[in-house]
Amino acid sequence: MTINGDSNVDDAYDSSRSRGYAPFVTTRDLDRLTLNPGREPD
């Protein structure tokens, strides 16, 4: 899904939450995964 504009971002968050998902909106391309130190998956 591609989202442009603040109102679309708000809609994406609301839609995700209503389905029980964790909302995720980013300006990064998703062809790479960035992990924060200390937050690596098990």
Residue 35, in any domain of the structure: no
How many domains is the chain built from?
1
Distance CA 20, CA 40 (A): 23
The reply to whether 42 falls in a domain is: no
| Cβ atoms of 6 and 27 closer than 8 Å | no
Query: What's this model's pTM, rounded to 2 decimal places?
Result: 0.46
CA nearest to 23, candidates 36, 41, 9: 9
Domain membership of residue 41 (yes or no) is: no
Domain that holds residue 9: 1-28
Residue at 8: amino acid letter: N
pLDDT at 5: 64
- What are the pLDDT digits (tens) for 1-42? 565 666 777 888 888 889 998 877 677 777 887 777 887 777
Residue 38 domain flag: no
